[in-house]
Structure formats: C-alpha cells, structure tokens
Structure 1
C-alpha cells in the first residue's frame, strides 16, 4: 500500500485511542441505561465525610414473569461476629432500623415498582465506624398463574472507609497501558514516516539518474 495510506491509518488509530481514553469515564455508565438488568459489583472504598452508594443488584431470571420483592440490609462492624439489621424496603416504604444509621441512609434502588431488582442504598456522611461487611438480602416472589414461587438472594459488600480517596490498581494499570499503546503507535508512525521519506527520496534519485542517462537529441541544421 502507499505511504499516504499508512500515515492515514496510523493517525486514525492514535486519535481513536485518545478518544476512547478520554471518553471511557463518561461513556461507561451508558451501557447500564438500556433497560436490561446487569449485575454490577458495588464499590468497596468510601471516603470519610462523603456519601457512598452501596450497590446491590439481583436480576430476575425469568424477565417475563411478574414478581414482587422485599430488600433488607444488614451490617457487621469490624471486630463483631453478628450482623445487625439496619434497613428494610418493602412496598415503596423505606425503614431505617439501626440507630447508627438514623437520617443517614436513603433508598437508591428500584422505584415505582414492587418488582425490585436494584436494592442499592446511599449512606450520607460516612464515618470510620461504617467500615465492615454489609449484607444485602433479596426475598423475591415470582407470581405464576397457578402458584407463587419464592427465591432469596444474598450479596456481601466489604466496605473500607479511608480518610482520602485512593485510585484503584486496575485504574492505574489501565492508564499506564493506554499511554504505552499511544507511545508505541507514535513510534511506529515515526518509523513509517522515515521509511516513506527514504523511499520517496530513492525514487527521486532514480528518476534523476534515468533522466541523466537519456542522450540529448541532436540539433537539426537549417
């Protein structure tokens, strides 16, 4: 292929990589907004004094079957052996049960439906005492024509509260790999440009030599 094609393709790849890197943090949540249920693990690191979402999603296996569900949250603090019931959500009614979380927990899950699939909650003004294990418990009843079938799902979230936000290892590695890819592509582009320059220069020299080797036409005497 021609050198111009190589340059065009390489530049396009570099620009695309940069676009993906800049767009990824913004575009990532969009994949969850298409109406389909996707079970995503909760974040596990909260910053003291900030708010934090405890995620808990349990997708219904039979999407065409009507259902109703109740969600409960339990908490086991560091050093403790038993879970304490802290929150309940039933029939669009949220109840904070444990005094430690009074006025600090909001429902952040499914709304305007008895068929809960997202039981996430939001903790306001996180404290270091909120570190520990949270258990999300779904009790779902599938409503068939002739009978009802009850299922239960339990999910655990191990929450750590820190004084200052830290970047996850996966985020750091992804950024490093992105920069390595961009630098590698730019080096490849440089090599291709040098190659094309030499090829064009060689073709020009060959044309000059061919032109010089052609004998000039004898002049005609009048």
Structure 2
C-alpha cells in the first residue's frame, strides 16, 4: 500500500530504497595529492570502494614504488594480507604508516619525513575476493601516484588570490568609511551654519517684532 503525504505518494519499495540511501556509508574515490615537501609527512591516498558492501570479501593490498628513470622496475614496499606489514630492506623502512579503514575501502599510507629521493611513482594494487553463496569472484583495482618532492611548499594560487581580494576589499571599505565620515561632517557643519545664521537674524530683529517671528527649524 502506498503512503501519501502532502500530495506525494511513496510505495514501500521507494521508502526502503530511500532509507538504505540515507543509512549506507558513502565511499568516494578521491585522487591522491602528488606534491610532497621535504621533511614533512605525505598521505599516499588509495580509496577503492566496494560495489557490494553487503557481500563478504577478503581484501589484499600491495604498495609498490618505482624510482624516476628506472625503466619500469618497481619494488614491493608494503602489503596488507590480513594485517598491515612493511617490506624489509626498502628505503622506506620505519617511515610508512598504515591508515586504512576498518572496512578496507580506504587503504592509504602515510609516508613520514619525506626525502628528495622519495620522488617517483607509487602503485596501490587492491585485490578483493567476493564470497557469494554459490561462487567466488575476484576484482582488482589499481591507483598510480606520481609523487614530486620539493624543498619548500609552493603557495597555492587560490590562497594568494584570496589574500589579494581580501586586501582590496579592506581598502574599498576603508575608503567608503572615510567618504561617509567626510559627508556626515560637512552635512552637520552646514546644518550648524544655517542654525547659527537663523539665530543671528532672529537676534537682530527688534524686540517688539519678535512676538510675530519664529526661528525656522532645519528639518
């Protein structure tokens, strides 16, 4: 039976879909940043959303690194196969921190204390085995990050433009306020001059004629 409210009708199926849409966690595959600063930490972002979150899955993750001009030679630097672990003997030993989510849709790493030699390509390979009632299905996903390492952070053009616009706005507001002050001062001065002239003219009138006179009041 459909439920109607304010002229709109909802079937039970539509209500169920709406409820699931609001209750289900949202996973968005956001691309990783590609510029790191020497001496700082860098997040190597790898998000691989599951299409069927209600299906039980086993997830394995492998991170590879390829130095610049290495002719495609890459080495395994990190893996997750039930628990995160670092590959022994790599140049990143002790500097890779696993920050993957509990549902393993986010399998990112933090590269600590970045050095100039950390520049290069990083590959995140995700392999999921979905377990259905009658069969299993494997899906793979890969993310490539071309990392550039700089000695100092480059100032974002957007932030520079925002700062310039802020100073322009402050200058405009200051000028507008100054014009308003000058305008109000001149208006008050003119009003005082008119009042003073009226009082002077009134005092110059003989006393016997003052009963028929009144000092004009400036609106």
Q: What's the TM-score bracket when you normalise by the shorter of the two chains?
A: 0.5 to 0.7
Q: How does 1:126-145 map to 2 (within 5 A)?
A: 126-145=114-133
For 2:151 and 2:157, how far apart are their aligned partners in 1? 18
TM-score normalized by the length of structure 1:
0.61
Work out the number of aligned pairs and report it. 181
Q: Let me know the Cα RMSD of the aligned residues.
A: 3.8
Question: 1:69 corresponds to which residue?
Answer: 59
Please state if 1:58 is matched with 2:60: no
**Does residue 100 of structure 1 match 2:91?**
yes
Give the equivalent residue in structure 1 for 2:110: 122
Structure showing greater Rg: 2
For residues 150 and 185 of structure 1, what CA distance do their matches in structure 2 show? 62
- Structure 1 residues 97 and 88, CA gap change in structure 2 (3 angstroms): farther
What is the TM-score with the length of structure 2 in the denominator? 0.61
Query: What is the rounded CA distance, in whole Å, between the counterparts of 2:71 and 2:78 in structure 1?
Result: 19
Gaps of 5+ in 1: 1-33, 188-222
Verify: 1:78 aligned to 2:68, yes or no.
Answer: yes
* Higher RCO, 1 vs 2 (CA within 8 Å, ≥6 residues apart): 1
Consecutive unaligned residues of structure 2, counting only runs of 5 or more, are 1-23, 176-219
Q: 1:166 aligned to 2:154?
A: yes
* The 10-residue stretch of structure 1 (54-63 or 173-182) with the greater mean CA deviation from structure 2: 173-182
Give 3-state SS (helix, strand or coil) of 1:42's partner: coil
SS at match of 2:91: helix
C-alpha deviation, 1:183, in angstroms: 8.7
What is the CA–CA distance in structure 2 between the aligned matches of 1:67 and 1:186, rounded to whole Å? 62
Q: Distance in 2 between matches of 1:146 and 1:100?
A: 44
Whether contact under 8 Å (1:70, 1:116) holds in the other structure is no
In 2, Cα distance between equivalents of 1:93 and 1:133? 21
DSSP-derived class of the 2:117 partner? helix
Of Structure 1 and Structure 2, the greater helix share is in: 1
CA 1:123 to 1:145, structure 2 compared with 1: closer, same or farther past 3 Å?
Answer: same
